[in-house]
Amino acid sequence: MCGRFNLTASEDELKTHFRLTQLSGLESSYNIPPGQQILSIIQPDGEACQAVWLYWGLVPFWSKNPKISHSLFNARAESVAEKPSFRTAFRQRRCLIPATGFYEWQTTDSGKQAYHICRRDHGLFAFAGLWDCNDASGQALYTCTVITTEATALMAPIHQRMPVIIPKENYERWLDKHASPEQLKVLLANPAYQDMMAVPISDRVNNPVHNDRQCLL
């Protein structure tokens, strides 16, 4: 599961990392929950990467119920290619979701301990994501989901699931509209988890209303 993350990189850092030509209106976000608009990277066929804003929580193009997004903010890597909610987006509408860290909670005898998981150099990375467009209401609604997988040795003591992190050298392959399901499954099976660390933090991050640097302490 991935239900909270942060993105504190500058616009210049994001432009360089994802080879973007345009990006504006970005502010540091220390505590991003599902339901918010989040920065995502897509690559229209034959074009350069583009930064777009998508609501976190997928509403499939065929759904008549926008509240379905409440249960579709994550997609399991093991079933994403077959599950009706995700299979079309998996084939045709993949995205990268920039992040500088994410949060998980470890259940202990005394309650829940929050952890911040990030790169050791505190640098940018990207979750594997899917996006979709639903116009059941007569107005286009653009949404996305984060793909998750089984926890690594680092994460396993904290939580059984974690987001799939796409290696930078595989960004183009993940976004390639013509990639085969077999090629995509290989990417999901080989995420970039080297050089990650998990740091215990205070319970301030528990409340998504809190969106400041204190969430990292």
Q: Give the residue from 18, 16, 146 showing the smallest Cα distance to 86.
A: 146
Q: Is the C-alpha dihedral spanning 89, 94, 99, 105 positive or negative?
A: positive
Sole residue written with tokens 């579709």: 72
Catalytic, 118? Answer no
Q: Give the residue from 213, 191, 193 showing the smallest Cα distance to 202.
A: 213
User: What is the per-residue burial (b if ≥16 Cβ within 10 Å, else e) of 94-133?
Assistant: bbbbbbbbbbbbeeeeeeeebbbbbbeeeebbbbbbbbbe
Q: Is the C-alpha dihedral spanning 35, 36, 40, 44 positive or negative?
A: positive
C-beta separation of 18 from 171 below 8 A? yes
Query: Residue 111: beta bridge partners?
Result: 108
What are the structure tokens assigned to 97, written together?
């979701």
Q: Give CA–CA dist 214/96, Å, rounded.
A: 27
Q: Give CA–CA dist 142/58, Å, rounded.
A: 8
C-beta separation of 100 from 6 below 8 A? yes
Catalytic, 82? Answer no
Q: What are phi and psi of 140, to 5 degrees?
A: -65, 130
* Catalytic pick among 49, 95, 104, 118: 104
Q: Which residues form the catalytic set? A: 2, 104
